[in-house]
Amino acid sequence: MTARGRLWLFLVGAAAFAMVFVTACFSLPPFGSVHHPYGERAVRAALSHHTANVIASVNFDLRALDTLGEETILFAAVLGTVVLLRQTADEQRTRPEPAVVRPRVRWFALAMLPFAMLIGLYVIAHGQISPGGGFQGGVVTATALHLLYLAADYRALERVRPVPLYEIGDAAGEAAYVVTGLGALLAGSAFLANVLPLGTFATLSSGGTVILLNAAVGIEVTSGIVVLLARFLDQAVEIGHADDGNDHGNDGKERV
Amino acid sequence: MRADDGWLAVALVPLLALVPVLWRVSRGAPEDRLIAQNLSSLLGGLALLPAAQGFGRPAYVDVALVLSVLGPTGTLIYARFLGVLPGSRLVRRTALLGVPAIVLPLCVAAGPGRAMAKLLLIGALLIAGSVVTGAGGGRGRKAAADGGRTA
Amino acid sequence: MTVLPYLIAGWIFLIGVYGLVTSRNLIHAVGCLAVAQSSTYVLLLAVGYRRGGTAPVFSDAPTDSRVVDPVVQALALTDIVVGATVTALLLALVVQLRKRHGTVDPDALSELKG
Amino acid sequence: MTDVLIVVALLLVAGAATAAVLNRDPVRQALVLSFLGLALALLFTFLQAPDVALSQLAVGSAVTPLMILLTVRKVRRRPGDSTDKGRER
């Protein structure tokens, strides 16, 4: 199909979509309306399970099976990326030259590293009380690790970041989620049911299995993102095609 | 939870300032785009802090906390790939004037305690991030190949 | 104001798809897909908003306060992180395509296939 | 007042989304995408969804741009017919 034909097809489709969508919008309850039957039930259920953060409760308790599905998509996406970006037979690794980093940037990145790490862990750990949780905190923690790449270069990051360990962590996080669910079965309840003592409302130990599932997701997301970025960094910085010749001399080098 | 319109009006100021910043991010010269991206995360933090107070929810401050760490990180990532870290007086001035102007009244409103410590930490992180990413020092080494082409 | 957020969500979706259709670079196309994806978050949260409500997080609010809908927030929150890993998968596909066919232009790719 | 904040944030999001699509160079698009992420995070906070805002910030400010930039570097590394896309603009 030509680019022109495709654009026309899009315009016709977009016009039809816009018409239907706008009609639907005017039939929806107006923005900010007070009637939220599901929301109210979710809030009641979360409070009865002593979980202060209702969103964490929906994710890891009321709809825990759904989150298992989401987590599996994440796992599969990471796995797919690892397979796609593996080093093939006709590729070779080159050692990039050390990067030139301004001292100011280096010190800043090194000083921020522990802060960012702590903030990430804080966001994971407080998931059942305040805004946050395994998904968000996991990404922050994984990003924090890459401040080391900004402070020095990829080789420095490689030295302190054993990728196989994070690959195991990714799988272990997924497995821990399923095992927690099966534990509920052993305890004589349904898969992923909240069987642990619920604890005191709005404390770190409240929410029963929410804490465990939250931690499992935190581990999986942290490891998953680290592995993803490791594969991309490998490809962009180290791995080159065997025919590239002296191309690396310039391009493997890092700047700033 | 009654929203406090005064604080929300304060949050509106950095929010409106983001409109010209968006223009620069999408239409400016290459270095201006990076400066605008840097400025946007600073202004975002400055909008989030009074908004948290205005909504009467100190827990919302966590969003600003995460932004104060990841914002400069994002800017440094771009700087490394583009091969430039342009200095910007605008970013430094906005940080040095704007952050105390918003954080100190918020501290007074919060009163001594954990909330205040958190606000001061966020303020310090915002200033540190902006000073480091906005101080310039000219071009590092002008990127030779891919970085230079994209910049 | 009663429908503005919904309409904006529709606009973001359409502009994202427009970018996908007219893109000449697969990396740009992946970015456009991320834009189109963000329209769903805007739509979901707009549907769940309740005027005068606060976040359904009761660490610093009384448990009887009026809150917005937590269900849509839970949906959006997991999807944002999962969406990022799917973006990574698509970018990995782009890298592979570049290795195999030497181009990231979708039109050139379909010519290769014949 | 909350409504005013929401409307301004909505318009910012719509503008950033449009700009992200119209910037055809991936690196420029990545810069606009991180702005879009920030605008979305602000909008979500004003819609009383700090959890979602955190999620958006965590992903949008560093991880997605880093992946896009790394892909661009990888794709432009080998000399070839379409590597010069960026040069033609």
Each domain of chain D, given as residue ranges in start order, spans 2-76
Local confidence band at A200 (pLDDT 50, 70, 90 cut-offs): confident
Residues in chain A: 256
User: How far is the alpha carbon of C69 from chain A, nearest alpha carbon, in Å?
Assistant: 4
Q: Tens place of pLDDT for every residue, chain B, 151 residues?
A: 455 888 999 999 999 999 999 999 998 888 889 999 999 999 999 999 999 999 988 889 999 999 999 999 999 999 888 888 888 888 888 888 989 999 999 998 888 888 899 999 999 999 999 988 888 654 444 333 333 333 3
Chains that touch B (3 or more CB pairs under 8 A): A, C, D
B:91-130 residues touching chain D, CB 8 A cutoff: none
How many Å apart are CA A177 and CA A212, to the nearest integer? 8
Alpha helices in B28-98 (DSSP H): 30-54, 61-82, 89-93
* Cβ pairs A/D, distance under 8 A: 58
Distances (CA, A) of D26 to A93, A182, C95, C97: 26, 45, 14, 17
Nearest by CB to residue C74, choosing from A18, A21, A63, is: A63
Partner D contacted by A178 (CB < 8 A) = no
Local confidence band at C104 (pLDDT 50, 70, 90 cut-offs): confident
B101 belongs to a structural domain: yes
Are A43 and C67 in contact by the 8 Å Cβ rule? The answer is yes
How many Å apart are CA D73 and CA B78, to the nearest integer? 12
Residues in chain D: 89
How many Å apart are CA A66 and CA A62, to the nearest integer? 9
**For the segment C31-63, what is each residue's pLDDT rounded down to a tens digit?**
999 999 999 999 999 999 998 888 898 888 888
Question: Quick one: tokens of A51?
Answer: 């979980």
pTM here is 0.90
More confident residue, D8 or B146: D8
* Cβ-based contacts of D41 with chain A (< 8 Å): none
Partner D contacted by A42 (CB < 8 A) = no
Whole-number average pLDDT of chain A? 85
Chain A residue closest in CA terms to D55: A136
Contacts of C15 (CB under 8 A, 6+ apart): C35, D17, D18, D21
How many Å apart are CA B79 and CA A8, to the nearest integer? 39
Average pLDDT rounded to a whole number, residues D36-63: 93
Question: Each residue of B71-81: b (16+ CB within 10 Å) or e?
Answer: bbbbbbbbbbb
Local confidence band at A81 (pLDDT 50, 70, 90 cut-offs): very high
How many Å apart are CA A70 and CA C83, to the nearest integer? 10
- Full residue range of the structural domain in which residue B38 is found: 5-135
User: How far is the alpha carbon of D35 from chain A, nearest alpha carbon, in Å?
Assistant: 18
Does the structure show a pLDDT above 60 at A243? Answer: no
Average pLDDT rounded to a whole number, residues A168-192: 89
- Residue A247: what pLDDT? 41
Distances (CA, A) of C59 to A48, A54, B117: 15, 10, 18
Interface pTM, i.e. ipTM: 0.90
How many Å apart are CA C8 and CA D11, to the nearest integer? 8
Residue keyed to tokens 């930039």: D69
Amino acid at A24: A
* Cβ-based contacts of C57 with chain B (< 8 Å): 57, 59
Amino acid at C3: V
How many Å apart are CA A94 and CA B110, to the nearest integer? 54
Q: Any idea where the domains of chain A sit in the sequence?
A: 36-251
- Residue C73: what pLDDT? 92
Contacts of B14 (CB under 8 A, 6+ apart): B43, B44, B46, B47, B98
* Cβ-based contacts of C42 with chain D (< 8 Å): 10, 13, 40, 43
CATH classification of the domain holding C89: 1.10.287.3510
Partner A contacted by C102 (CB < 8 A) = no
Are C36 and C13 in contact by the 8 Å Cβ rule? The answer is yes
Asked if the Cβ–Cβ distance from A102 to B85 is below 8 Å, we say: yes
Does the structure show a pLDDT above 80 at A96? Answer: no
Asked if the Cβ–Cβ distance from D73 to B57 is below 8 Å, we say: no
Alpha helices in A49-162 (DSSP H): 54-57, 64-84, 103-125, 134-145, 147-151, 154-160
Chain B residue closest in CA terms to D23: B26
Residue A92 has phi, psi (to 5 degrees) of -130, 155
Whole-number average pLDDT of chain D? 85
Nearest by CB to residue C70, choosing from A43, A73, A201, is: A43
Local confidence band at D78 (pLDDT 50, 70, 90 cut-offs): low
Number of domains in chain B: 1
C:46-85 residues touching chain B, CB 8 A cutoff: 52, 54-55, 57, 59-61, 65-66
- Residue A36: what pLDDT? 87
Local confidence band at C112 (pLDDT 50, 70, 90 cut-offs): low
As a three-state string, the secondary structure of chain C is CCCHHHHHHHHHHHHHHHHHHHCCCHHHHHHHHHHHHHHHHHHHHHHHCECCCECCECCCCCCCCCECCHHHHHHHHHHHHHHHHHHHHHHHHHHHHHHHHCCCCHHHHHHHHC
DSSP letters along D6-73, please? HHHHHHHHHHHHHHHHH--SHHHHHHHHHHHHHHHHHHHHHTT-HHHHHHHHHIIIIIHHHHHHHHHH
Local confidence band at A241 (pLDDT 50, 70, 90 cut-offs): low
- Residue A132: what pLDDT? 86
- Segment holding A255, helix H or strand E: none
B150 belongs to a structural domain: no
B:49-108 residues touching chain C, CB 8 A cutoff: 55-60
Are A193 and A184 in contact by the 8 Å Cβ rule? The answer is yes
- Full residue range of the structural domain in which residue C34 is found: 4-113
B144 belongs to a structural domain: no
Average pLDDT rounded to a whole number, residues A114-134: 90
- Residue B140: what pLDDT? 45
Asked if the Cβ–Cβ distance from A32 to C17 is below 8 Å, we say: no
Chains that touch C (3 or more CB pairs under 8 A): A, B, D
More confident residue, A50 or B21: B21
Asked if the Cβ–Cβ distance from A233 to D70 is below 8 Å, we say: yes
How many Å apart are CA A233 and CA B35, to the nearest integer? 25
Least confident of A91-100, B79-88, B127-136, C20-29: A91-100
Residue A53 has phi, psi (to 5 degrees) of -90, 100
Contacts of A4 (CB under 8 A, 6+ apart): none
Are A223 and D58 in contact by the 8 Å Cβ rule? The answer is no
How many Å apart are CA A88 and CA A153, to the nearest integer? 24
* Cβ-based contacts of B16 with chain D (< 8 Å): 8
Chain B residue closest in CA terms to A108: B132
Partner B contacted by C98 (CB < 8 A) = no
Question: Each residue of B130-149: b (16+ CB within 10 Å) or e?
Answer: bbbbbbbeeebeebebbbeb
Are C53 and C66 in contact by the 8 Å Cβ rule? The answer is yes
Asked if the Cβ–Cβ distance from C50 to A241 is below 8 Å, we say: no
Distances (CA, A) of A104 to B135, D41, D61: 9, 29, 21
Local confidence band at D80 (pLDDT 50, 70, 90 cut-offs): very low
- Residue B2: what pLDDT? 56
Chain C residue closest in CA terms to B3: C52
Average pLDDT rounded to a whole number, residues D31-43: 94
User: How far is the alpha carbon of D47 from chain B, nearest alpha carbon, in Å?
Assistant: 11
HSE (CB half, 13 Å, CA atoms) of C20? Answer: 17
A88 CA to centre of own chain: 27
Query: Which of B44, A82, A21 lies closest to D38, judged by CA?
Result: B44
Partner D contacted by C27 (CB < 8 A) = yes
By three-state DSSP, how is residue A231 classified? helix
